[in-house]
Amino acid sequence: MERWSPFSATETQSLFALWEAERRNRLLYSIGLILSIALVLLGWQIQRVRTARRVAENANRAKSEFLANISHEIRTPLNAIVGMADLAASTNHPEEQKEFLTAVRTASRSLLLLLNQVLDFSKIEAGHTEMEFSAFSIRLWLQDTLSAFEKQCEAKGLRLTSKVDAQVPEYLVGDRTKLFEVLSNLLSNALKFTDSGSIHLTAGIEDENERDMLIGVSVSDTGIGIAPDKHEIIFQAFRQADGSMARRFGGTGLGLAICTKLVQAMGGSIRVKSEPGNGSTFHFTVRLTKVLAQPTAEPAKAGEPHALHLRILLAEDNVLNQRLELRLLERAGHDVQLARSGREAVDAYAGASFDVVLMDIQMPEMDGLEATRAIRLFEVETGRHTPIIAMTACAGSDDERRCREAGMDGYIAKPIDTRALLDEIHRLHANGNNEPI
C-alpha cells in the first residue's frame, strides 16, 4: 500500500480534480448554450412582436386612410346630388331641370357603385362570396363588358379594341357576373389612367386539361403607368399606388383587392406589368369548366318589354319610397295596392288576391319577415303560393338568407334598379304562377 499510495493518491486526486473541472466546464458550457439559445429566442420573439405591431399599425393607418378616402368619395357625388337637386327645384325651365336631374342620376349611380364595392369587399373578407356557375359565351361576355365602356372611351378619344384567340371555345362554365366585375374594374382603371392612345384587350387559353381551361385575359393601356415598387401594393386592400392617387383620380383603393380575391376564388391569379410613362398591362387568369353540350340559347336578354298586367301588393313604410315605387310599378302597367306596415300587408293579403307581393323589411308594428311568415302560414290553409320579393336597404350577405328563410322567393336591394325589379317580378310570376309549391 505504502509503495504506491502517495503517488497514487495524488494521481487519483488530480485525476478527480481534472474530471470535476471538466464536468463543471461542460455544465457551464451547457448553461451558456441554453442561455444563448434563450436569448436568441427572446430576441426573435421581440422582433416578431415588433413586426406584428408594425403590421397592425400599417393596417390601421391604411384603414384610416381608406376611411378618409371613402368619406371624400361619398361626399363628392353627394355634393352633386344635393346641389343639382336644389338647382332643379328652383328653376321652372324644363330643359334645365332635365339637365340637373341627369347630373343627379349620374352622381347617384357612382355613389351606388361605391357602396356596392365596399359591400362586396366586406363580403369577400368575411368569406361570404358565393359563386354562381352557368354556361356563358366568352365572346359575348367580353362584348358586353366592352360596350359598357365604349361611350366613356369615345368621350376621352381612346381606341378600345379586343381580340379573342380563335382556340377559345364559344361556351364555358363559370361565374359570369364575377368575371364581369373583374374585367370592369380593370377597364375602368385603364380608362381612368389613360388620357390618350388606346386600351387593348386579349383573351386566350393558357392551360387545359380534360375538365377545364385556364383562360388568360389581358387589359393593356397606354396610360401613366405604375412604378415597379408599387406593383404589389396596388393589389392590397385599402392601398393605392400613392396617397395622392386618391385625390387625383378618386377611387376607394378596393377595386384591385376585390379583383385579386375574385380571381383567386376562380382558381386563377392576377399580375401587372408596367412602367411609368409606358402604360400598364394587367393580366389575370381564371379556371373555367368545359361544356360538353352547347347551350341552345343565351338566357333571355334583360330589358325586353314587360307586357304584363299584375296585381301587386306593395308593403313599404317610407313615404318617399312609397311614391317612387308606386310610380315605377304603375308606369310598368301594374295595379298596385299599398300597405304601410307589415300588419297592413297581412290584412290586405287576407282580403284580396295578388300576383306578387313586394315586401320592405324594416317596417313599424310588424316587419317584413314577420309579415311574410304570417302570409305563408295563411297559405297553408289556402294552398296557394304568392311570390314575395324582399325589397330592402339591408344588403348584407346574411340579410338575403334571412329573407329566404322567412319564406320569400326573391330579393332586390335598395336603391332599386327598375329593370332588375321588373325582371324579378316577371321571373317569379312566370315560375310561381300562384301554384302551391
CB of 393 to Mn ion, least distance (A): 7
Residues 6+ apart with CB under 8 A from 288: 138, 172, 173, 174, 212, 213, 215, 266
Q: Grid coordinates standing for 327?
A: 310610380
Instruction: Say how many residues make up the chain.
Output: 437
CB of 99 to Mn ion, least distance (A): 32
By the rule CB under 5 A, 317 interacts with Mn ion: yes
Within 148-255, strands assigned E span 159-164, 171-174, 198-208, 212-221
Q: Grid coordinates standing for 237?
A: 386592400
415 preceded by a cis bond (ω within 30 of 0): yes
CB of 316 to Mn ion, least distance (A): 6
CB distance 303 to 225 below 8 Å = no
* End-to-end C-alpha distance for the chain, whole angstroms: 112
By the rule CB under 5 A, 362 interacts with Mn ion: yes
CB of 112 to Mn ion, least distance (A): 18
Show the site string, 196-225: x = touches Mn ion by CB under 5 A, - = not.
Answer: ------------------------------
Listed ranges 177-185, 248-256, 258-266, 357-365: which one lies at the site for Mn ion (CB under 5 A): 357-365
By the rule CB under 5 A, 120 interacts with Mn ion: no
Listed ranges 80-88, 170-178, 316-324, 328-336: which one lies at the site for Mn ion (CB under 5 A): 316-324
Local structure of 211: helix, strand or coil: coil
Closest to Mn ion by CB, 134 vs 362, is 362
By the rule CB under 5 A, 360 interacts with Mn ion: yes
CB of 363 to Mn ion, least distance (A): 5
CB of 113 to Mn ion, least distance (A): 23
Give dist(CA 357, CA 336) in Å, integer: 10
Count residues near Mn ion (CB under 5 A): 3
Listed ranges 71-79, 87-95, 246-254, 352-360: which one lies at the site for Mn ion (CB under 5 A): 352-360
CB of 191 to Mn ion, least distance (A): 37
Closest to Mn ion by CB, 182 vs 390, is 390
Residues 6+ apart with CB under 8 A from 297: none
Q: Which residue is nearest to Mn ion (CB)?
A: 362
Q: Which of 424, 358, 430 is nearest to 390 (CA)?
A: 358
Kindly list the residues in this chain that would bind Mn ion in the complex (CB under 5 A). 317, 360, 362
